[in-house]
Structure 1
Amino acid sequence: MPANPPTLPAGLTTRPLRLDDARAVYEVIAAQELADTGEVAIEEADIVGDWARPSHDLAARSVAVLDGAAIVGYAELMGADRADTAVLPSHRGRGIGTWLAHWLQERARALGSSVVGMPVPQGSPGDRLLEALGFRVRWTSWVLRLPEGATIAERPLPPGHVVRAAEPDERRAAHAVLEDAFLEWSERERESFEDFEAVTTGRPGFEPWNLRVVLDPDGVVVGVAVVLVSDDGRTGYVDRLAVRRDRRGEGLAQALLVDAFARTREHGTTTSELSTDSRTGALGLYRRVGMQEVSVWVNRAVDLGATKEKAESLPHLH
C-alpha cells in the first residue's frame, strides 16, 4: 500500500449509495460514457436491477463522492471481484478516480477478495489511470452492432425444435442453461435464481417476450437469449445468449440471434447490439453474421496480495 493513501479534494464528502441514488448514478455513468465513447449504453433500469439482487449489499459495497448534495463520482463492488466506477467528466483531474480505485481495493480486501477489476473503454482516461495504478488487462470486450437495415441469414432449427418466449415455469431451466454456459469461462460464484430474476423479470420494463428459449422436441430448454430494447426505442440488445454445451454447432445460437433481432424490430428498433469478450470465443460468430465492432473495452484488475498502486506520484487522469 502507498505510504500516503490518496485523499479527496477539500469540500468533497462521501457516503454509501442508497436505492434512491439510481438516477443520479445513471447520470454520472452516462456522462462518462458519452465523453469516452460518444454514446450512452447504460440505462437506469440496469442499475435498478443490479441493486435489487438479494445478494447485493449496496450499503456495504458502495461509496458516493459528493460535491454539496450532488453525486460526482461513485464506486461499488459486485460479487467477489467485479467493480464499477465513474466520475463526472467535469470533475476529472481532481484525484477522485485515484481515490475511488484505492477505496475499491481496500473494500475488496476487507471482504476477502484476492483481485478486483473493472471495465473501462480502451484508451480512455480511466484506462490510462488504472494502467498507471498497476491494473493489468484481464480480458477485452467488444460491443458489436448489426448495421441499420441489415439482417442475419436465417438458420433453420433442427426438426422438432422451436424458439419462443419462455413460459414462467421454464425460467429456472433458462437460468440453468445460462449459468452452465457462462461458468465455463467466467470465474465467479454461481448466480442464484433470485438474483437472475432481479436483473431479468424484475428489471423495470421487462415483458415476457424479452426472455427467449429454444426448446427441443421434448420441450427441454437447450438455448436462451435475454433481449432488451433501449429507452429511446431505437436499439435492440441481446443481453445474454447461451446454448447448452452438448447442443452447440447446430445453429441454435444463430437462430436465437435471428429471432431476437426480429422480435426487437417488431417493437420498433432499427439497430441491434450485443457485447462479447475474449474469454468466450464468440467474436468470430458475430462477425460472420455481419455484426461490426463499435467500441472496445478492457477489464483491468489488480491482484490485492501484491498491488503496485502508486497513487501518491500519479497525475490525476480521471
Structure 2
Amino acid sequence: MTPIDGLQEGLTARPLTHDDAEAVTAVVAAEEVIDLGEPEVTVEDVLSDWLRPSYDITESTVGILDGDLLVAYGDHSGPDIGYTAVLPAYQGRGIGTAIARWLQAKARAAGSPRIGTQVAQGSAADRLLADLGYEVRWTAWDLELPPDREISARPLPDGFTLRDAEDADREAAWTLVEDCFLEWSDRERMSLADFGARVWDRGGFEPWNLRLLVSPDGQVVGATHVFLAGDGGYVARIAVRPDQRGRGLAPPMLVDAFDRAREHGAVRCYLSTDTRAGARGLYEKVGMEVASTWVNRAITL
C-alpha cells in the first residue's frame, strides 16, 4: 500500500499499474463530463504517457480506492507536472487535497522548485487549487472547427509538399517539433524515446498521424501530429521551422490534418493552445472557435 495522509476511513491507496489505465480514464472522463459537458480523454492518452521509457509508474502514481473501485488518482508525470482526478461523487471529502500534498512531496523529493497542473477554468479542481495557494501561470484553450466549416487556406508555395512521415524521418520530426515547442515551453527537451511513446508508439498509430512539410530542397520544415480521439480529430502538435514562418504554411497544414482526420471518421476537429504560444489568433482567423478554457496553476515548494 502507498502511505498518503488525510484519507477518510475505508479508502485505501496503492501505486497504479498499466492495467489501471481504463479505470483512470473513467475517472478523468467523469470529471470532464461535469466540467466540459463531454469526455475528451482516451485510454491511449493515459497509456502513451505511462509507456515513456523514462517513466516509472510504480514510483509516480497513486490510486485511491473504495473497495475495488478506483475513485481518484494522482500522477507525478514530470518533475514539475502533476495530474489528478476525483470521481464527482467523491469530491468534497478531502481526497483532492490529500493527493495535492502527495504530489508536492513527490516534486520536492525530485528536486523541483514547484509543481503544477492544468484544470478546466472554474471547475472544482480549479477552485480547490486556488484555495491551496496554487497561482495561475497561463491560460489555455481547446479550439474546435465546427463540423460544417472548412478552413479557407491558400495553396502551399511552389515546391512545398505534405506527406506521411516514414521511419527514417522520425528523428528529424522530433528535432523540429521539440526545437519549436521549446521556444516558449519552460521544460527540458523530451527524449526521442519519450517523444515516440506519445507519437508513433501511441496505441492505434497509423502513418497519416504524423505529416511532414517538405521544402523544395527536400528538408523537413514542418510537422503535424494528428490522431483520432473518439469522434474527434485532434491536432496534438503543429510546428513550422522559424525561418519558414510568415509564408502561410500553417493553414494548409491544418487543412491537411483535418482532412486526413475526416477521411478516417472524425466528425469534429480540434486542438489546444495557450498564452505562451501566442497562436490563438491564427486558429480563430481560420475559423476555429474556443470550446473550453483551462488554467495552468502551480505552487512554489
TM-score range, shorter chain: over 0.9
The aligned residue for residue 67 of structure 2 is 68
The answer to whether residue 263 in structure 2 is matched with residue 266 in structure 1 is: yes
- How far residue 36 of structure 1 moved from its aligned partner, in angstroms, is 1.3
Structure 1 moving runs of 4+ over 2 Å: none
Contact 1:6 1:98 in 2 (8 A): no
Correspondence for 1:195: 194
Unaligned runs of 5+ in 1: 305-318
Which residue type is aligned with residue 197 of structure 1? G
- Corresponding position of 1:105: 104
Correspondence for 2:95: 96
CA distance in structure 2 between the partners assigned to 1:31 and 1:45 by the alignment: 17
Q: Which moved more, 1:77-86 or 1:294-303?
A: 77-86
Aligned to 2:222: 223
> Residue 291 of structure 1 aligns with which residue?
288
Q: Is 1:125 equivalent to 2:124 in the alignment? A: yes
1:143: which partner in 2?
Answer: 142
- 2:42 corresponds to which residue? 43
Tell me whether 1:242 sits opposite 2:239 in the alignment: yes
Q: How far apart are 1:34 and its partner, in Å? A: 0.7
Query: 2:64 is paired with a residue of what secondary structure?
Result: strand
Q: Distance in 1 between matches of 2:70 and 2:99?
A: 13
CA distance in 1, matches of 2:56, 2:203: 20
Paired residue type of 1:266? E
Q: Kindly provide the CA deviation profile for residues 54-84 of structure 1, in whole angstroms up to 9, marking residues without a partner as x.
A: 0111111111111112111001111211111
Q: In the alignment, residue 80 of structure 2 is paired with which amino acid?
A: D
Q: Distance in 2 between matches of 1:171 and 1:219?
A: 15
Q: Cα distance, 1:6 vs. partner?
A: 5.5
Q: Distance in 1 between matches of 2:251 and 2:189?
A: 26
| Partner of residue 301, structure 1 | 298
Give 5+ residue unaligned stretches, structure 2: none
1:156 Cα offset (Å): 1.6
Which runs of structure 2 are paired with 1:70-89 in the superposition (5 Å)?
Answer: 70-89=69-88
- Report Cα offsets for 1:4-43 as digits up to 9, x if no partner: x951100111111111110110010001111111111100
CA distance in 1, matches of 2:5, 2:95: 9
Matched, 1:204 2:203: yes
- 1:257 matches 2:270: no
Task: Specify the SS of the correspondent of 1:23.
Answer: helix
Q: How many percent identity over aligned positions?
A: 53
Please report the RMSD computed on the Cα atoms of aligned residues, expressed in angstroms: 1.1
Deviation string, structure 1 residues 258-279 (Cα, Å, up to 9, x no partner): 1001111111222110010010
CA distance in 1: counterparts of 2:48 and 2:100, whole angstroms = 24
Taking the TM superposition and a 5 Å limit, the aligned residue runs for 1:169-184 are: 169-184=168-183
Are 2:157 and 1:158 equivalent residues in the alignment? yes
Partner of 2:16, secondary structure, is coil
In the superposition, the TM-score normalised over structure 2's length comes to 0.97
Counterpart of 2:10 in structure 1 is 11
Q: CA deviation at 1:154?
A: 2.3
